[in-house]
Structures are given as structure tokens and as C-alpha cells.
Structure 1
Amino acid sequence: MLVREMTHNECLAVLRDGRLARMACAKDSTPYVVPIYYAYSGNRLYAFSMPGKKLDFLRSNPRACLQVDKSRGDHQWVSVIVDAAFRELPQEDPPGEERLHAWSLLSHHFDWWEPGGLKLQPQPQPLRAASRHIFFALDINALSGREARLGEPERVSPQ
């Protein structure tokens, strides 16, 4: 198996093609990792969530790390790591331009609201008139990637 560093543009292509990331955040030295659906646009990822632990952690510490991967079979994969800063998109009436942009990008997929819109509750909750959906941006500070593929490393012959 060969493993190589990916170029910046290759990493961006993985983000553009992907939808599911694993996002890590931390609060008071406690890490938390959760899957999120995202949309990529203009050096940032957009996502949404209902209120809960993920948002509590991100509001407390806006630094986040995301991992996006694609498997291509046995021992063949690509993986991109994103260092990002959380930024909540305000709930305004009417909605702001960036919030509408995030919604537009995310809604291209029929299941865009999963898993962020599904919160397990111990008992049924009353319906609320106001939306509790929180849209947010993850501004990319740095990214890196690796690709693994089948093959033998090139051998350098002794001279």
C-alpha cells in the first residue's frame, strides 16, 4: 500500500464531493466527536443542528476539527482533515444572505437535515412555533489530506 500527501486542490475536491464529516470539538478538556452533513462553499463548510451538546461545545470553544473520507475498496482511501472555526449564522427575520446561502446549499439533498434534525427525546416534546434550527459556518483555517492506494513503494537502488 502506498500513502501520499494530497495537494491543497485535491483536498478541496474531496470536500466539494463529500457530504458527511466527523466533527471533533472540545469543552473543558472533554472531546466530543459527532457526524454532520455539510455543504462546501467559499473556503467554509455549512451545516445545521438543533440545540444540544454539539452547539454547547462549539459556542464554548469555536475551534473544530473535521475529517472527511472516501473508501475505494481494500486499502484504498482518501482522508482530509480540516482545522476550522465555528461561526453561528444569526436567526434573523428575514433571514440573512449567508443563512439563506447555507440553506440553499444544504437543501440540494433530500436528507440534508439528518442527523442534525433528529434529537432523541425521553418523551414527546410539544410543537413550537419558532424554528430551533441553528445554521452555522465552519471557516477553514487549514486542511491536509492523505491518499492510500495499492502498490509497492518505489525502491531506491544502492549506488
Structure 2
Amino acid sequence: MIIRELSQQACLEILAAARVGRLACASDGQPYVVPITIALAQHSLYSFSLPGQKIDWMRQNPKVCLQVDQAGRGDGWKSVVVTGTYEELPDRIGSKLEREHAWSLLSKHANWWEPGGLKPVTADIPAEHLFYRINMDTVTGRESVPE
């Protein structure tokens, strides 16, 4: 196998096709990684969640990282890593259009609210959902191909 860098265009195509990515955030030096539903528009990734640990941590430290991968032929693969900044889209007048935009992007796909809209049945978490975006700073990718 040979490992090659992906072009920016190839990385964006993978992000546009992806529905789920793995979001990394950190608090007090402790990393936390969770799967999230994503939708790409311009230079941002949009997502949805109920309140919980990742939202609390991203509010404290908005610097995040997201990884998406795609299986290739045989043993081949492609992987894209995004660094960026969390931006909540609050349910108030100044963010109404951005929230509607996020909802319109995400709701194009079946079960778009999973995994962000699901919590363990024993959890005592308010049912208030929120939308947010990751404003992308860097986008890099690699792929493996047969020799």
C-alpha cells in the first residue's frame, strides 16, 4: 500500500458525502471523542445535539477536531481530518436563519437526528435540542492505494 495526501477538493467531496464523523473535544487536558451527524455547507460542518458532556466541553473550549473516513477498494481507505471552532446556533432571533439552514441541511437524510438526538433512557437530560456548526480552520486528508 502507498499512502498519499488528498487534495482539498477530494477532502471536501468526502466531507460532503459523509453523514457521520467522529468529533473530538477536550476539557482540562482530557480528550473526548463521539460520533455526530454532519452536513457540509460552505466552510462549515453543521450538526445537532441534546445537551450533554460534548456541548458542555465545547462551550468551555470551542477548539475541536473532526475525523471522517471512507472505505476504499480492497484494503484501501480515505481519511479526512478537520480542525475548527465550535459555534452554537442558539434559539433566538439573531440565529434563526442559521438554525433553519442547519435543519434544512441535516433533515435531507433519514434519521438525521441520530446519534445527537438520542440519550440513554435512564439519563435525566432536558429534551431541548440545539444546532451548532464547526467553522473549519484546516482540512487535510490521506488515502491508501495499492502499489
TM-score by length of 2: 0.94
Equivalent AA in structure 2 for residue 91 of structure 1: D
**Counterpart for residue 148 of structure 1:** 144
Q: Distance in 2 between matches of 1:79 and 1:144?
A: 8
Determine the C-alpha separation between the residues in 1 that align with 2:95 and 2:22.
28
Determine the C-alpha separation between the residues in 1 that align with 2:110 and 2:94. 24
Residues 6 and 94 of structure 1: CA distance in aligned 2, closer, same or farther (over 3 Å): closer
The whole-number CA distance in structure 1 between the counterparts of 2:120 and 2:48 is: 16
Structure 1 letter corresponding to 2:104 = S
Match of 2:59 in 1: 59
Deviation at 1:95, TM superposition (A): 6.3
TM-fit CA distance, 1:73: 4.0
- Shift in Å, 1:121: 3.5
What does residue range 68-147 of structure 1 map to in structure 2 within 5 Å?
Answer: 68-92=68-92, 96-122=96-122, 132-147=128-143
Aligned residues: 147
Q: Which has the larger radius of gyration?
A: 1
Residue 75 (structure 1) shift: 2.0
Q: By how many angstroms is 1:72 displaced?
A: 1.6
Rounded Cα–Cα distance in structure 1 between residues aligned with 2:10 and 2:110: 27
**Structure showing the higher strand proportion among its residues:** 2
Say yes or no: does 1:32 pair with 2:32: yes
Counting aligned pairs with the same residue, the percent is 44
Could you list the runs of 5+ residues in structure 2 that have no partner in the other structure? none
SS at structure 2 position matched to 1:96: helix
Normalised to the residue count of structure 1, the TM-score between the two structures is: 0.87
| Displaced runs of 4 or more, over 3 A | none
Supply the distance in 1 between the matched residues of 2:11 and 2:139 (Cα, whole angstroms).
7
